Amino acid sequence: MQLPSQTFIITGATSGMGRGIAERFAREGARLVLSGRSEERGREVAALIQQQGGRAVFLPGDISQPETNRQLVENALAAFGRLDGIVTNAGHLGLGAVTDIQPEEWHYTFAANLHSVYYLSHYAIPHLRRQGRGVIIATASIAAFKSFPNHPAYCAAKAGLVALVRQMALDYGPAIRVNAICPGPVDTPLIWDSARAFPDPDKAVDNAAQTTALKRLGRPEDIAALALFLASDEAAWITGASVTIDGGVMACR
C-alpha cells in the first residue's frame, strides 16, 4: 500500500475521474472524505469502498461555497483525526462564447474550478503544516494551454488554476507539495455534457478520441494512477508541476 492510514479529501468524487481516484486511493490504504453534489451517488461510492474493506465518509455540498470546504476539513479531522492531503477534482464546464455566456454562469465556472481550490486549500493547509507534510493535487486541464471553441470561462479558470498551483508550491514548500493534473479527453460525464452541444454527441466524443495520438479516450483509472503517483512518496521531488495526461493531444498540435 502506498497511502497507508493517510487521510485525503477528494472533491467531485461521485463519478468520473474523482470516483476513480477515490477507489484507487482506498485500495492503497487511504482514509477518505468524499465530496459531491449528488448525495445518492456519493453514498454509493462510500458504501462500495467500505464493502471492499476501505474507510470513507461522504459529505454532500457545493464546493463553490466556502462553508462546504470548511466542513470537509472539519469532517476529516473528526472522522480520522488527521489530514494528509486534498485532491480538488470537482469542476464545471460553463459553455458559451464570451458574448453568449451569462455573467452568473461565468462566475460559477470560476467558483467551481478555481475559487473552490482556494477555499479548500485555505482551510486544509494549516492542518497539513501542523503535521509537517502534506499533498495538494488539483485537477486542471489541457484547456489551460489549449483553446477550445465556446470554452472561454473554463479555459481561463483552468489556466488560473495552473498558476495558483505553481504559486502555492512556492509559498508552502518544502513541507507541502502542490501539483496539477492536466487531463485531455477522458470518458466521464463531463465530456458527454460537452458533446451535447453538437448535433451528433456520439460522433463528437469519437472525434475527441481521434485527436489523441493513442486514438482513445482516457479512462478514470488512467487519471487515478497519476494522482496516486503524485500523492505518494515516489513523487517526493515533484512540486509546482502541471502534468499533462492526454493520450498525446498536445503532441499532435
162-198 pLDDT tens trace: 999 999 999 999 999 999 999 999 998 878 877 777 7
Residue 191: exposure state from Cβ atoms within 10 A (0-12, 13-18, ≥19): buried
pLDDT for 253 beyond 80? no
Does 26 map to a domain?
yes
Mean pLDDT of 120-140: 97
Residues 70 and 43 in one domain: yes
Residue 191 pLDDT:
83
Residues 77 and 56 in one domain: yes
Take residue 217 and report the three cell numbers written for it: 479516450
Residues 35 and 141 in one domain: yes
Percent of the chain with pLDDT over 70: 99
Residue 190 pLDDT:
78
Residues 105 and 123 in one domain: yes
Sorting pLDDT into bands at 50, 70 and 90, what band is 2? very high
What does pTM read for this prediction?
0.96
Collapsed DSSP state (helix, strand, coil) of residue 172 = helix
CB atoms within 10 A of CB 91: 26
Mean pLDDT of 104-124: 98
Residue 53 pLDDT:
97
**Of 119, 123, 154, 172, which is the active-site residue?**
154
Distance of alpha carbon 46 from alpha carbon 33, whole angstroms: 9
Q: Which domain holds residue 198?
A: 189-217
Residues 148 and 236 in one domain: yes
How many domains are there within the chain? 2
Take residue 140 and report the three cell numbers written for it: 486542471
Residue 118 pLDDT:
98
Distance of alpha carbon 159 from alpha carbon 142, whole angstroms: 9
28-54 residue pLDDT tens = 999 999 999 999 999 999 999 999 999
Mean pLDDT of 3-23: 97
193-249 residue pLDDT tens = 777 777 888 888 899 899 999 999 999 999 999 999 999 999 999 999 999 999 999
Nearest partner of 16 among 181, 173, 160, 189, judged by Cα = 189
Sorting pLDDT into bands at 50, 70 and 90, what band is 141? very high
Residue 196 pLDDT:
74
Do residues 108 and 150 lie in contact, with contact meaning Cβ atoms separated by under 8 Å? no
Distance of alpha carbon 212 from alpha carbon 252, whole angstroms: 7
Residue 198 pLDDT:
76
Consecutive H or E run containing 57: strand 55-60
The DSSP letter of residue 212 is S
Residues 131 and 232 in one domain: yes
Sorting pLDDT into bands at 50, 70 and 90, what band is 63? very high
Residues 202 and 102 in one domain: no
Residues 118 and 194 in one domain: no
Do residues 249 and 146 lie in contact, with contact meaning Cβ atoms separated by under 8 Å? yes
Mean pLDDT of 59-86: 98
Residues 134 and 201 in one domain: no
Residues 209 and 147 in one domain: no
Residue 192 Cα to chain centre, angstroms? 18
Q: Note if 154 is an active site residue.
A: yes
CB atoms within 10 A of CB 89: 25
Nearest partner of 4 among 23, 33, 26, judged by Cα = 26
Cα–Cα separations (whole angstroms), residue 221 to 57, 119, 189 = 21, 27, 15
Take residue 96 and report the three cell numbers written for it: 458559451
